[in-house]
Homo-oligomer: A and B are copies of this chain.
Amino acid sequence: MPRRRYDQYCAAARALDTVGDRWTLLIVRELLAGPRRYTDLHADLPGVSTDVLASRLKDMERDGLTTRRKLPPPGAVSVYELTPRGLELLPVLTALADWGAPALADRRPTDALRAHWFAIPLARRLEDLGANVVEVRLDEGVFHVRTDNGRPLYGDGPADRPDATLTLDTGTCIAISEGRISVKDGVREGLVVLEIPPV
């Protein structure tokens, strides 16, 4: 909750009171990948300043979106993690990603990029593959998605034992994310290579 509230008895305004601040929803996006350390968050949120990130994490913990947990030694590092309430923001991020996907048509040279940022709009399109864990290989990097409502929803890098792997280029990935073509169409047209590893 920011210092500035809307003070409106409206469900949408109440939500924006909590998650309407700059960076908050993008922090949620990162935490959908599971528990993360402060430094990892800072690395995957290029542009955020250290104090704003720390301040947001405090606000989010106070508002019940996240919890802070100390990993047992050795390591004894603390990680940030979404609460169930914070996890319920996934539909908000999905709706935003749906709306914003067409804007990916113009790719600016200054744009930062992490492969797992494609996971949110892509996840639903992979649901009918019949695979719990899907590894996605783009030119820009590899990430994996869980389609079984598991936590974490996705992660960077290859999966442990994926049920399927998808190899495709960025344009195809966006087209599938937007629902313009299906995964099966992509395979049929040679844009996507779908592999099911032997058990």
Contacts and interface: CB of A to CB of B under 8 A. Distances in A.
Interface residues of A, number: 49
A9 B26 CA distance: 12
Number of copies: 2
A89 B4 CA distance: 24
Interface class of chain A by DSSP:
helix
A98 B91 CA distance: 9
A97 to B, nearest CB: 4
18 contacts: A6-B47, A7-B108, A7-B111, A7-B112, A8-B117, A9-B113, A10-B29, A10-B97, A11-B103, A12-B29, A12-B96, A12-B100, A12-B117, A15-B100, A16-B96, A17-B100, A18-B100, A91-B95
